[in-house]
Amino acid sequence: MSKHKSSNQQLDGQVEEIQALDAELADAHEKIAILRSVRAEAEKAVEIGTGERARVAGLHDWFSTATSTCHALVSLLSAHSGGVEECVIGDVVDTHVMENDVPGLVWAVLARARPT
């Protein structure tokens, strides 16, 4: 009977160990699910960040071009072109600057500066 009793005790111990391992496995699966959602959020943030970098780079290039064009046009105001009245150019520049129309300003100044 003692052998039977020790077998039952051993079996009970193994059952308890399996239950503990099952609980540990369930916890591990729960942690894996949480980490997968965290990973998905991180990957989404990386994708958004990549898109933002490209957008910011494009905006930076546009702003740099607009700024250099503006500086070039400001220096045009101090130059004298024969046959073009300065007050007309000044009015054109003022109008387009107030409207924040850089392409229109470039076109208008070039149209007036070209020889006819």
**Arithmetic mean of pLDDT, 63-92:** 68
Percent of the chain whose pLDDT exceeds 90: 22
Residue 106's Cβ-count burial label (10 Å; 0-12, 13-18, 19+) is middle
pLDDT in tens, 16-71: 999 999 999 999 999 999 999 999 998 888 787 777 777 778 888 888 888 888 77
Residue 105's Cβ-count burial label (10 Å; 0-12, 13-18, 19+) is buried
Least confident of 67-76, 84-93, 97-106: 84-93
pTM of the model: 0.40
pLDDT of res. 44: 86
